[in-house]
Structure 1
Amino acid sequence: VLTKYTLKLEQISFFLAADVHKLINDKAMNINRALLGNERATAKLLFNLMKSELEKEKLHHLKWQERVKDWKLIQKNCVVQSFREFMASEEIQNPPTVKMEMENLTKEQIVFSEQRLRVLQHIGTLLPPIYTKSDLNEWYRTLEDLNKSIDTYNSECVEKMRVRYELVQGKCQEKVQICKMTLLDKNICTIEDVEVVHSSMLQMTEKLKHRFEEELEHMDSDFKEMAKWHEQHCQGLYSCVQEAMGLWDVHLLKLSQQEDVLQKKVDGYRLEQDNIIQVMKDDLDTILEKMKMASCEEELKEYLENALSSLDQIRTRYENETFKQIVMNEVMAYPKAILWELISYSISISQHFSVKEVFKQ
């Protein structure tokens, strides 16, 4: 185009051809500069536009990444929160099966306590002389058997609750695995994060397991302490009643001794009386023998008088009030001795049970 107009200008202008070419070159240069400027501006505009689009795309990508990150965090928190709610639920913290076992244990404990109370109250009827030490031993064996039955039942209940707790722990472990697989399947977080979450969940289950174990250990310890306490007090009660029966045996022994003393004294007096009378009877027999051998009336009369006198002495001896009074005095002193033995027994038994003595009053 410029060449065409250059030729026309050369034909019609009064300028030299060199000046025309110079003018055209200047115009061409200006046009080229303008075109180059426009191209540069266009290129810059395109660059700025592309840069703006890239920045927008980058910003959108970053926002999308943030949203994805937030979504994953929300999903992870939902999984963790669901596990926390599961662990905090009443079914896990206070399992219904364990509650049922505790209710059954309480009911059985009431029944056992009533049975033991009846057995303990029965000892109040084991009073001498109707009941003996063999009856007391039989009572203590019954009490021991009942205590062993209670201890066995308590141990079985602890084991049952241990099984119930283990089932709950199994549910917790199963829930942990489900949550872990959910995180992995949904690709919510990295394997490292999954392991961290899994570790925290295991810590919660271990904490619950530790609590269950502490409860069982505390319960088992309480049962053992209670069994030991009952055993000691039952043994103490048995020993106390044994000692009381021992006091009764001592009392019976002393009564028997008092009776033996009285019997010996009465027998001694009776033997002395019988010996004296026997001597008199022997003398009478001698007189009668001599009387049989008498040869005259005077001797017969003398022996007869002696025989009658001997019979009077024997009758007098049988009717001797002094002997009867001595025996009566011994017999009358016996109730007083028995009374003192009763008072002594009352004092001993009162001191044994640490109560006020009232029989003497």
Structure 2
Amino acid sequence: QQKQEIKDLDQELLALEVSRANKLKDVLKRYVDILEKTSYLLQPDVYRLIDKEAMAMNQALLGNRRAIAQLLVNLTEATLQQELDNRHRWQGLVDTWKDLKKEALQQMTLLLSPFMASKDIQEPPAVQKELEEMLTNQRVLQKVRLDHLCTICDLLPPNYNKNHLTEWYDSLTSLNKQLDTYHMDCLSLVRFLYEKIWQECLAHVQNCKKQLLDWKAFSEAEAESLVNPAFFLVVGEFQSKVEKKLELLDNSFETLAKQMEFQSADLFRYFQEAVKLWEEHQSVLLSQELELEKRIEQHRQKHNQENQVPKA
């Protein structure tokens, strides 16, 4: 733009010089006519006088053209020097900007790493509190379950009842389901609490981006490209670690639920078999008792008959 302005100025000055030369030419012609009409000087003297004045004017005009040319050279040199200085200054600013980027990236890493390594993120208090409450409630539910298991002693032969035994098994199944449901609810709550932790991490990353933008060293797209990879690397590793723990906990709960279901059903079948054996034993004893009574009656009758023969 400056070069174009210099070029326009040069053309404008040259146009002014041409206009000035034309005006001087007209003035000289007019004075030639005036001098010739006055006849104060002879015509040759008039021409010599006018030639002398014209030569002086031409020299002045040539001097003006040289000055314009020199002005053009000076302005061009000044413009080139300014561009060179601006180039050096721009390069210095670029180097400073790159250094600021490196420093900003280091600062961002320093801000993100301690945050992710903090105890509030690695071992969230809300999650720890929920796990402690889960252990406490587990003990309570397990005690209720064990107390119910002990009541089977009141249902064993000879004081047994099939309906009561079935009700006992249904209650045990309900307690097992209650414990499993509680585990699933706790696991869902823990997942929800960790989701809140991820949101906190995301909010912290947004703050890091805002700081980068406030430093005026990055555009929004550059801040995204710098922060997101570091964030996803650190948070991704931590999230993967947490997901493995939660998956292990989920598998443990599932295994426990299946184990309780299998053991309860196996225990119920065992007691059903025990009751069945008791009933079979009772049936055999009853048959033997009837047989014994029958034999006793036969012996009694035989004994009575033997006692009646001597009397006869």
**TM-score surpassing 0.5?**
yes
Counterpart-to-counterpart distance in 1, 2:142 and 2:94: 69
1:247 aligned partner: 277
The match for 2:206 among 177, 186, 208 is 177
Q: More deviation in 215-224 or 152-161?
A: 215-224
Counterpart-to-counterpart distance in 2, 1:90 and 1:189: 31
Residue 91 (structure 1) aligned with residue 120 (structure 2): yes
The match for 2:249 among 219, 226, 230 is 219
Residue 259 (structure 1) aligned with residue 297 (structure 2): no
After superposition, the C-alpha distances for 1:330-349 in whole angstroms (9 at most, x for unaligned) are xxxxxxxxxxxxxxxxxxxx
How far apart are 1:83 and its partner, in Å? 1.4
The match for 2:263 among 233, 247, 250 is 233
1:104 aligned partner: 133
For structure 2, list consecutive stretches of 5 or more residues without a partner in the other structure: 1-80
Letter aligned with residue 215 of structure 2: K
Letter aligned with residue 199 of structure 2: G
How far apart are 1:168 and its partner, in Å? 0.8
How far apart are 1:264 and its partner, in Å? 4.0
* Preserved contact between residue 126 and residue 136 of structure 1 (Cα < 8 Å): yes
How far apart are 1:78 and its partner, in Å? 0.9
Q: TM-score, normalised by structure 1?
A: 0.55
How far apart are 1:80 and its partner, in Å? 2.3
Letter aligned with residue 102 of structure 1: L
After superposition, the C-alpha distances for 1:199-248 in whole angstroms (9 at most, x for unaligned) are 31134333333333332222111101001011111211221122112111
Residue 197 (structure 1) aligned with residue 217 (structure 2): no
How far apart are 1:82 and its partner, in Å? 0.5
After superposition, the C-alpha distances for 1:278-332 in whole angstroms (9 at most, x for unaligned) are xxxxxxxxxxxxxxxxxxxxxxxxxxxxxxxxxxxxxx8484499xxxxxxxxxx
Corresponding pairs, count: 225
| Cα distance change, pair 320–77 in 1 and its aligned pair in 2 (3 A) | farther
* Preserved contact between residue 173 and residue 205 of structure 1 (Cα < 8 Å): no
1:348 aligned partner: none
* Preserved contact between residue 121 and residue 197 of structure 2 (Cα < 8 Å): yes
Counterpart-to-counterpart distance in 1, 2:305 and 2:263: 65
* Preserved contact between residue 97 and residue 217 of structure 2 (Cα < 8 Å): no
SS in 2 for 1:146: helix
Q: After the TM superposition, which segments of 4 or more aligned residues of structure 1 sit over 6 Å from their partners?
A: 60-64
Larger radius of gyration between Structure 1 and Structure 2:
1
* Preserved contact between residue 76 and residue 189 of structure 1 (Cα < 8 Å): no
For structure 1, list consecutive stretches of 5 or more residues without a partner in the other structure: 1-50, 274-315, 323-361
1:351 aligned partner: none
| Cα distance change, pair 321–240 in 1 and its aligned pair in 2 (3 A) | farther
1:137 aligned partner: 166
Residue 70 (structure 1) aligned with residue 99 (structure 2): yes
Letter aligned with residue 224 of structure 1: E
Q: TM-score, normalised by structure 2?
A: 0.63
How far apart are 1:74 and its partner, in Å? 1.6
How far apart are 1:79 and its partner, in Å? 1.9
Aligned alpha-carbon RMSD (Å): 3.0
Higher relative contact order (CA 8 A, sep 6+): 2
1:160 aligned partner: 189
